[in-house]
Amino acid sequence: MNMYKSYQFRLYPNDSQIIMIQKTFGCTRFVYNHYLEKRKKEHLTCFDMIKDLPNLYSEYPFLKEVDSCSLRCSLFDLEDAFKRFIKHQNNYPKFKGKYSSKRSYRTNYITSTYKERKYENIKVDLKRKVITLPKLKEVKIRGYRNLESLPGRIINATISEYSSGKYYVSVLVEVNHLVAKIIPKRIVGIDLGIKDVVITSDGEKIKNEKIIEKYEKRIKRKQRELARREKGSNNYYKTKRKLAVLFQKLKNARKHFIHQITKKLVLENDIVVSETLKVKEMIEEKKFSKSLTDVCLSEICRVLEYKAKYYGKRYIQIDTYYPSSQECSKCGYKNEKVKELSVRNWICPECGSYHDRDINASQNILFEGIKKYVKELI
Ligand SMILES: [Zn+2]
């Protein structure tokens, strides 16, 4: 099977490369906004826009200075934004602002042969630690020390600048991955939570790492500090920058943590079952704000899905309305009293079983997962 995998490297552009990257951010944003404005007045297909693009060059010659492929990519992005809008997956496309927290542009891999020599616009040399990018030539990179070369065909590269001021490049690679068919033997149900991030039906509780909590606390403190500062003052920007660095650190720590727990779950089991987060939100009657935890849980689901596929295993999500924490996993008795989140342990009035709230929930999730899996087999 063909899979897409992205490799992210820290990018170390020199001064003139930084100028070119910044120019490209500006030009891709300009093209995006220009055609968004146009599409408000007339219907344009993606093909129409790409055909019209050279006309824009004569009017705005600065567009010629940057990688033309990146401009076409921003039109593909605009097209995607409209498609998602039509499918009700997001709001009407918005204009791109100059000061968004993460700025980026994408460029596609192009190859050609001239006089029996092969030319490629994107090349990654992991021995010399450089990436070749259109208009930038060679840029220093860091990351993937144990890799000798990228294990597949390059599709595209996305160059980003985070609000911390650091540059990254993410290279998307098509990998031909052989997946062995596994006959499932071990199946586990997991409950996703806040204090314990993952609770398995085997009774294991995986806590958020201390370092993540530490960063979260520091971020909260800095956010309060920022609120006290006078907007636009020197100290305001200083605090804002420190906050951006902390967010980046938190993101990296969380990425590492999610990678570890999902890998363990997928390697130790053949089928992993969880509830969809939408269901969880309904059942727990919690206000799942767009908090940091919320992002973390949906990321766990996304990575589980991906990793399960990668190792030839299954990740099943249960989508039915199902009060997993209220039902006794031994006899099926529904205990309304457990609805209260403060109830951490309970004894089933029907069969007398002692339950830890979360472990009981994950065992119910496991049974629902088995039911769904068996139904698929028939
Ligand atoms: Zn019971």
Provide the CATH number for the domain around residue 194. Answer: 3.30.420
How far away, in angstroms, is 37 Cα from ligand 1 center?
62
What is the per-residue pLDDT for 288?
42
Closest by CA to 274, choosing from 296, 299, 254, 304, is 304
Centre of ligand 1 to C-alpha 327, Å, is 8
Confirm whether 55 is domain-assigned.
Answer: yes
Asked if 336 is an active-site residue, the reply is no
Phi/psi for 125 (5° steps) reads -115, 105
Task: Give the distance (Å) from ligand 1 centre to CA of residue 334.
Answer: 8
Q: State yes or no: pLDDT of 136 exceeds 70.
A: yes
pLDDT of residue 194: 74
Q: Which of residues 146, 176, 206 is at a domain's end?
A: 176
Kindly tell me if the per-residue pLDDT of 131 is higher than 70: yes
pTM above the 0.75 mark?
A: no
Residue 224: predicted pLDDT? 92
Kindly tell me if the per-residue pLDDT of 289 is higher than 50: no
Nearest Cα neighbor of 183 from 303, 271, 310 is 271
Residues 76, 193 within the same domain: no
Residue 239 lies in a domain: no
The pLDDT, as a whole number, for residue 281 is: 56
How close is the Cα of 333 to the center of ligand 1, in Å? 5
Q: Side chain identity at 213, as an amino acid letter?
A: E
pLDDT digits (tens, 9 = 90+) for 145-197: 888 999 899 999 999 998 778 999 999 999 888 887 788 899 999 998 877 88
Task: Name the residues around ion ligand 1, CB cutoff 5 A.
Answer: 328, 330-331, 333, 348, 350-351, 353
Residue 257 structural domain:
187-215+250-377
Q: Which of 79, 161, 191, 216 is catalytic?
A: 191
Q: What tokens were used for 266?
A: 């997928």
The pLDDT-based confidence of 287 (bands split at 50, 70, 90) is very low
Interval 59-113: pLDDT, tens: 999 999 999 999 999 999 999 999 988 887 778 999 988 777 679 999 999 999 8
Identify whether 356 is a catalytic site residue: no
Q: Among residues 128, 154, 176, which one ends one of the domains?
A: 176
Whether 275 is a known active-site residue: answer yes
Say whether 335 sits in a helix, a strand or coil: coil
Three-class secondary structure of residue 357 per DSSP: helix
- CA 356 / ligand 1 centre spacing (Å): 13
Q: Which residue has the higher pLDDT, 154 or 342?
A: 154
Flag whether pLDDT at 290 surpasses 50.
Answer: no
User: How far is ligand 1, taken at its centre, from the CA of residue 223, in Å?
Assistant: 46
**Which of 79, 216, 270, 358 does the annotation list as catalytic?**
358
Selecting among 67, 79, 161, 275, the annotated active-site residue is: 275
Percent of the chain with pLDDT over 90: 60
**What are the pLDDT digits (tens) for 1-43?**
788 889 999 999 999 999 999 999 999 999 999 999 999 999 8
CA atoms within 13 A on the CB side of 341: 10
- The per-residue pLDDT for 291 is 52
What value, to the nearest 5°, has the Cα angle with vertex 57 and ends 54 and 58? 105
**Are 124 and 206 in a shared domain?**
no
Distance, CA 338 to ligand 1 centroid (Å)? Answer: 13
